[in-house]
Amino acid sequence: MMAAASPVLAGGHGGETPMTYGQRPFYLIDQMRDGPLKDTLMACRDQTPARSDFSIAHRGAPLLFPEHTAEGYVAGARMGAGIVECDVTFTADKELVCRHAQNDLHTTTDILATDLAGACTAPFTPAEGDTPAAAECRTSDLSLSQFESLTPKMDAADATATTVEGYMNATAPWRTDLYAAAGASLVTHAQSIALLKDLGVKFTPELKAPSVEMPFDGFTQEMYAQKMIDEYKAADVPPEDVWAQSFNLSDVLYWIENEPEFGAQAVYLDDRYEAEDDDEGLIDPMDPATFKPTMQELADMGVNYIAPPMWMLLTLDESGKMVASDYARAAQDAGIRIIAWSLERSGPLGSGGGWYFQSVSDAVTTDGDYFTILDALHKEAGVVGVFSDWPATTTYYANCMGI
């Protein structure tokens, strides 16, 4: 099986894994506007990289490496991330694997160019007229051995394509295929645990929402949530080294009740900015009066960590400075720790940063503003960790600020 044969998964990293910032943090500092923050960061140029739990590797290091691969995880650890994420889903034979979504194989692997394309839930259809190209390939369409036979690629698809080759060849120009060209390694959840233990980092697995109806062949949501925790227990991973995540509050509450040692650090991934309430219309996450359940109610349920997107945590004051949102202050008042996602996922920031920066877009003008928002998340919103697609930036900031 391809993943098992990977030289990266073969081990040998251990506590001697070298750490490096590389060039990117310095490139970003050079882009910053002159001011106290730039001066502080420049004064740290000669610091020695050190691992920090404030720096969380989002899917590995997908700015340049195919996401959820052994190579991406190693890259994140080498950039000083103290915690690395494996998004967890399952195969047809109910084995846990690392993928951002159960139904993303058509954009993150070469499945459409293999004999397994016929197993996909929806085969490739070319673009025609106003109808975009499409496909849907799920991990639950494949056995574990079939999944492991695939080759990962950068997550991308060209909706205008008329061929499989064109559909697959769509990497954003500010990313690269350089580190995918020689082949990368898909990873099972258990393999990710072994690799990250060897690298000396901690764990933040996310239980992904299934694309299939649950129960799946007798596999219930509760069994799914339990199986993920059981794989850490089987590997003798201390619960305090694991931050289990889910967008499904019921999963978080399941861990709190049934695995309290792991539940103490379970993370509720909040995306209720898109939720609708029959009585009050769109729920406004920036207004704790309309946010349900309230932060205090979450705390009373035993939820100790919450993780919304970055823009929910910040707003601009009258002077245009990034400050904590009411949402962030409500979490602080309830004693809930905050983790933010995801830095360096937007590409170049000259146009305001897009979705991740929407609440502060008027203050975003250069790539250097990755550090501006990072500083505001730390000092204003009080976050305890930040997911990043290129963890060196967050590590550099954490080391410089003594976090």
pLDDT of residue 7: 66
pLDDT of residue 160: 98
Q: What is the mean pLDDT of residues 229-239?
A: 98
Query: Is a pLDDT exceeding 60 seen at residue 337?
Result: yes
pLDDT of residue 16: 63
pLDDT of residue 14: 53
Peptide bond before 361: cis, by omega within 30 degrees of 0? no
pLDDT above 90 coverage of the chain, percent: 88
Reported as a single tens digit per residue, the pLDDT across 123-162 is 999 999 999 999 999 999 999 999 999 999 999 999 999 9
- Per the CB < 8 A criterion, the answer to whether 100 and 156 are in contact is no
Query: Is a pLDDT exceeding 70 seen at residue 26?
Result: yes
Pairing of strands 267-269, 134-136: unpaired
Residue indicated by tokens 């058509």: 106
Read off the DSSP letter of residue 152: B
Residue indicated by tokens 């590797």: 57
Query: Is a pLDDT exceeding 60 seen at residue 174?
Result: yes
From the CA atom positions of the chain, what is the Rg in Å? 21
Q: CA 208, 346, 170: angle at the middle one, nearest 5?
A: 80
Reported as a single tens digit per residue, the pLDDT across 188-216 is 999 999 999 999 999 999 999 999 999 99
| Complete domains list, the chain, with CATH | 14-101+186-401 (3.20.20.190), 104-137+151-185 (no CATH)
Q: Which two tokens stand for residue 32?
A: 């910053």
pLDDT of residue 307: 98
Reported as a single tens digit per residue, the pLDDT across 267-280 is 999 987 754 433 34
What CA–CA distances, in Å, run from 137 to 80, 103, 271? 34, 5, 24
pLDDT of residue 181: 77
Distance, in Å, from the CA atom of 341 to the CA atom of 310, rounded to the nearest integer, reads 6
Peptide bond before 126: cis, by omega within 30 degrees of 0? no
